[in-house]
Chains A and B, each alone.
Chain A
Amino acid sequence: MIRVQREDFDLGRELAALTAGNHKVGGLAVFVGLVRDMAGHGAGHGAGHGAGHGAGDETVGAMTLEHYPGMTEKMLEKIEREARERWPLEASLVIHRYGRLEPGDQIVLVACASAHRQAALEACGFLIDWLKTKAPFWKLEEGPKGAQWVEARASDDTAARRWAKEEPDAAE
């Protein structure tokens, strides 16, 4: 199941509901993405390593997540379908939020349940890596110099590519 929503989610409740009544599940792998405090980081080039100066000035780390309604759901469904074709999952859930978020807020949840841990862990890693390079979301960070669009990271593409089997992905 996939959900795109503005409101927060209750992690415990979501996970409990995902596997409720299914006793074939032996493992549940979970990834939760949180808003990192990027104050002082600067959203320009060279994203990828820590805050250079004075992190922690006030509450300048909030961000707004924009997305492409319609395509977002389509892409998430497609990515989830692919995970379920590749691993024997009993259940899967992807929740992605949009709108304004503060440091510490939950942004994304990926959960995969399977009979065994390996399938659950791998499918979870696959889903978050692919989602980061395919799902049409964009982060606008608020900083001391105003709001700036976060640049995509080459390392995210590399992370996603390690799941690519033989099929070349022409569109990227």
Chain B
Amino acid sequence: MKLLYFAWLKAKTGVAEEEVTPPAEVTTVGELLHWIKGRGPGYAEALADLQVVRVAVNQEYADPCQPVGPDDEVALFPPVTGG
């Protein structure tokens, strides 16, 4: 699974992009976020307030119950501020 981080989520995790293999019991966006949070202090800090974390699976907005799998591209980012 490919993970991407943008804006301050990238700054806090210290990672822009990484390949990960979550355990088999991680099957949804919500479970994935929980797992990522446990990967280290930077991740825990970045995901401390999930209200301000948006998730996209394969470049489409996703909610916590959406399924995720090994071939997915999952992006984590703050609410958008373009325009």
Q: Which residues of A contact B (CB under 8 A)?
A: 33, 65-68, 70-71, 74, 96, 107-108, 128, 131-140, 149-153, 156, 170-172
Contacts and interface: CB of A to CB of B under 8 A. Distances in A.
A125 to B, nearest CB: 12
24 contacts: A66-B6, A68-B4, A68-B56, A68-B75, A71-B56, A71-B75, A74-B59, A96-B82, A107-B82, A128-B83, A131-B82, A131-B83, A132-B80, A133-B79, A135-B80, A135-B83, A136-B6, A136-B77, A138-B81, A138-B82, A139-B82, A149-B8, A152-B79, A152-B80
A42 B43 CA distance: 26
A168 B81 CA distance: 21
A139 B81 contact: yes
A172 B79 CA distance: 9
Interface residues of B, number: 18
Label chain B's interface by main secondary structure. loop
10 smallest beta-carbon distances between A and B, as pairs = A137-B82, A152-B79, A171-B61, A132-B83, A71-B59, A138-B7, A150-B81, A149-B8, A139-B81, A135-B82
Interface of B: 4, 6-8, 56, 59-63, 75, 77-83
Nearest to A75: B59
Contacts of A138: 6-7, 77-78, 80-82
Contacts of A71: 56, 59-60, 75
Contacts of B7: 66, 138, 140, 149
Nearest to B55: A171
Contacts of B80: 132-138, 152
A170 B56 contact: no
B21 to A, nearest CB: 23
Nearest to A107: B83
A152 B81 contact: yes
Contacts of A68: 4, 6, 56, 59, 75, 77
